[in-house]
Amino acid sequence: MKTIIAAALVLGLCGLGRAADKADLVGTWACEYSIGDMKRTSTLTLKKDGDKYAGTMSWPDQKDVKLTDVAVKDGEITFSADRAVMDRTFTVKYKFKVEGDKLKGKGAIDAGGETREFDIEGKREKKDK
């Protein structure tokens, strides 16, 4: 009996993981984060091409940067985007967990051999009817 219950729990948890991987990620997400004491914004746009995700990240001063290394696994989406700041370009690595119309996660940047992380949250923008 214990074996049957354990097997049912494992199968149920695996099913939840697969369901999270099939979350609706497509859309435009308004993101907010802080670096130091400065509040920042960005816009994440995700689309699906077949069974793969693609998209762009935009900031107020830089538009439509193509996402690289997009992966969805265990209910999380990860990707990278190149962020130009003045005369330097940094690759920012993102990791988000999506729950309905909200996402929450971290961005990480290598600043001179030191990894700096920041919290980032987003809300799906509603489509006009």
Residues 59-106: tens digit of each pLDDT? 999 999 999 999 999 889 999 999 998 899 999 999 999 999 999 999
Whether the CB-CB separation of 46 and 53 falls below 8 Å is answered with: yes
Taking the C-alpha atoms of residue 58 and residue 66, their distance in angstroms, rounded to an integer, is 9
Binned at pLDDT 50, 70 and 90, residue 22 comes out as: low
Whether the CB-CB separation of 33 and 118 falls below 8 Å is answered with: yes
The full set of domains in the chain, from first to last, is: 2-124 (2.40.128.120)
Binned at pLDDT 50, 70 and 90, residue 20 comes out as: very low
Collapsing DSSP to helix, strand or coil, 106 comes out as strand
CB atoms within 10 A of CB 103: 23
Residues facing residue 20 across a β-bridge? none
pLDDT at 111: 81
